[in-house]
Structures are given as structure tokens and as C-alpha cells.
Amino acid sequence: MNEIPRDVGALLKHERTSKGIALDVVHEATKIPLDALKAIEEGYKARSLTGFYYKSFVKIYAQYLGLDAGVVLALVPVHHPQSPAVLKLPKPVKGLAVGAHRVEGVRERMAVLRSPDILRKKKKVIVVVLAGVCILAGLFAAGVLIRKVVNAIAVSRALDAASNSNGQSRKTKINARPANMSGKPLAAAASPADKAQTRPARSTGRVAVTVRAQTTTWITVRCDGATVFQDRLKKGTAESWSSAKKIEISVQDLGALEFEVNGKNIGKIARRDMKARKVIVTPEGLTVEK
């Protein structure tokens, strides 16, 4: 190797170039700001390069290049940086006290951590972490909302399925009063000759019936053999029932009711003076019995 330069910046630059290392590589490896590295090597002042940072960066730079940091730091003058001058290399410094080494090491680490590049990286990390936390919180809230909606839909469908399978009406009311105000049976068994076929209802595979009372009358309704309504139907009120196979309606005064079968308005199906007391509705049609 040719004559070794005795200026701190020239020494570090000579060592770096002799090893074929680019200044950008030193910057990436040591995290020393690039402008500070240039100022150290060229011997000019930089606004961000105070005396404390200058010594810290020189030591880190020297250690990276494999030089004795103590020897290099001994070359640093009281007022830095200085114009190139001929300085004598001092003898190798024999070890300092353990406590002094520790204090110096802490100062160097603090200097590196407080450098502008490190602070910028810390801020970026904090922003990324906060953004990740916000995204996770949003996903959790969305998941809870979706689960609630799915559960509500499932419960609604289950209730609809149970209502359809049981063939229950929207209002099922069972009364313990007698089936007929006169104490007589609601409907007697009728022979086929007594049955009268009226206007057919629309066949949909299910039966839906709505009755409206023109006057107050007693009514009993059975859906597929199960009694679902037995009470007075007051004037001006209406009730609806649905069933899979058959709806039987026994009424004290059939002429007091208007009928709607499977959404089709049929109106009255008997006169007030008729003795008909029972209506049977199936998907195939409507039958009136005495």
C-alpha cells in the first residue's frame, strides 16, 4: 500500500476505496446518513454533524472498515472537521477502563438511534402497526355483523318452515265454550246426496282461506284434523288459515261469512236462510255440507 494519509476523513476514504467499497454500501450497512459520510471523508462541516455525532459516526465507520476505532478517534481534533493536515499516528491505545467503554458504547448506540434515518424508520413502523390494528378491528366488527345477519336469516327461515309444516294459522285461539250456542252438534254427518259442490278454488298444492264476518257468528276451524280456532267471529273482523291438505270450517250462520280461497275472492257461498253449516276446502275445490 502507498503512503497512508494521516487525516481522519482521508484515512477512512483511502481504506474504503482500497477495499473497493462504495459509499452507498457503507451507508446501507452502518445506517450513517450519506451526507454525514461525505462530510467526514471530505473534511467539511455539515449542519446535522455535531461533535458528538461526528465521533460516533467515525467510530462506527472505522469498525466497519476493520480499523482500530480507538486509534482513529485519537486522530479527531477538538474542533472538527479541519482542513487536511499532517498528523502523527499515535501509539495504539491500551485498553480503557471497563466503565468508560460501557459509557462510550451507550452514547454511540443512542447517537445511532437518534439519527434522522432511524427516527424516520421508527415513524414508518408505528404507522404501519397502527394501520394493521385498525384493519384487524374493522374485519372483526364486520365478521360480528355478518354472523348476526346470518343468524337472523336462519331463525326467520326456521320459523317459516315450522309454521308451514304445522299448518297453523296466524291466530290460534281455543275456547272452552260449547261448539254451538244452542247446545246442538255443529255439523251432522251428511250423505253424498246432501253435499253441494260450489265454485272451485285455485289448486296450488296448499289451501289458504280467509273469512270475513258480516255479522257476529260462532265459528270452529280445523286444519288437517287439528282444531286451530273456536270462538265468536265478530262483525267486521277477518281471520286467515292455511293448511297442506284440508280446512274444515263449521259455522253457526254460513250466510254471515264471505270467503277468499287461495287469494281468490269468492264472497258469500250461502244465503242466511240455508241450513248449511260446514265448508270443506281442499286444493281441488270447495264443498258445502249441511
**Quick one: pLDDT at residue 269?**
81
Q: Which of 51-55, 185-189, 215-219, 222-226 is predicted with the least confidence, judged by mean pLDDT?
A: 185-189
**Quick one: pLDDT at residue 165?**
59
Q: Is the pLDDT score of 164 beyond 80?
A: no
Distance CA 96, CA 149 (A): 71
The pTM of this model reads 0.31
CATH class, domain 8-114, is: mainly alpha
Please indicate whether residue 169 or residue 56 has the higher confidence score (pLDDT).
56
Please indicate whether residue 136 or residue 87 has the higher confidence score (pLDDT).
136
Mean pLDDT of the chain: 75
**Quick one: pLDDT at residue 176?**
38
Confidence of residue 185 (pLDDT cuts 50, 70, 90): very low
The residue extents of the domains of the chain are: 8-114, 121-166, 173-289
Distance CA 156, CA 242 (A): 18
Confidence of residue 162 (pLDDT cuts 50, 70, 90): low
Please indicate whether residue 76 or residue 3 has the higher confidence score (pLDDT).
76
Distance CA 65, CA 17 (A): 10
- At a CB cut-off of 8 Å and minimum separation 6, what does 115 contact? 31, 32, 33, 53
Q: Is the pLDDT score of 131 beyond 80?
A: yes
**Quick one: pLDDT at residue 85?**
38
Tell me what the mean pLDDT of segment 154-174 comes to: 61
**Quick one: pLDDT at residue 5?**
52
Q: Which of 43-57, 141-155, 156-170 is predicted with the least confidence, judged by mean pLDDT?
A: 156-170
Please indicate whether residue 258 or residue 51 has the higher confidence score (pLDDT).
258
**Quick one: pLDDT at residue 121?**
80
Tell me what the mean pLDDT of segment 143-160 comes to: 85
Cell numbers linked to 136:
384487524
Confidence of residue 271 (pLDDT cuts 50, 70, 90): low
Confidence of residue 255 (pLDDT cuts 50, 70, 90): confident
Q: What HEC string does 155-210 produce? A: HHHHHHHHHHHHCCCCCCEECCCCCCCCCCCCCCCCCHHHCEECCCCCCCCCEEEE
- Check if the beta carbon of residue 187 is closer than 8 Å to that of residue 250: yes
Confidence of residue 221 (pLDDT cuts 50, 70, 90): very high
Give the three-class secondary structure for 278. Answer: strand
